[in-house]
Structure 1
Amino acid sequence: MRWKGNSMPIYAYSCDLCGQSFDVRASFAEKEQGLQPVCPKCASPKTRQVISGVMVVRGGDRNGVAAPSSFCSSGSGQGCCG
């Protein structure tokens, strides 16, 4: 999930049938009600949400710029999962 300005969050999805990746803009309420979008390429309802990168805003940052989380200490650049 990521944000674009002050609008609703954008969720990343992938189609299980054709592999197409796509984004869906939806409110938290829509997401909580079981948002299940169809693939824009093949119209399959067999889609799944893809977890994208996470940005962490640290309170001590003087310029207010979000920095990538350094939670994973492996240095692989793959986040916590790899």
Structure 2
Amino acid sequence: MTFFEKFEKLLLTMMTYAISVCVCQSQDDHVLARLLVKIINAATRYASLITSSAQDNQSHILPMVTYTRAMKNGKKLQGKK
């Protein structure tokens, strides 16, 4: 399994976790919708980074920055009610 395959699996796991935490902690559909938008945007950015820099051997650095930002945004959204 390559680094990107492992990272993709981790990203999907974290997305699933973030959604389930949000659903369990909040019955507010608006909060859930905002979290889903953030997750979809992060996944889209991740996919575009992977496809645009597939030839670059150091392209593994950029997706981690995107992933970290997505997780921080998710935590900020979970705190708002």
TM normalised by structure 2 equals 0.30
Between 1 and 2, higher relative CO (CA 8 Å, sep ≥ 6) is seen in: 2
Determine which structure has the larger helix proportion and give its number: 2
User: Which is greater in Rg?
Assistant: 1
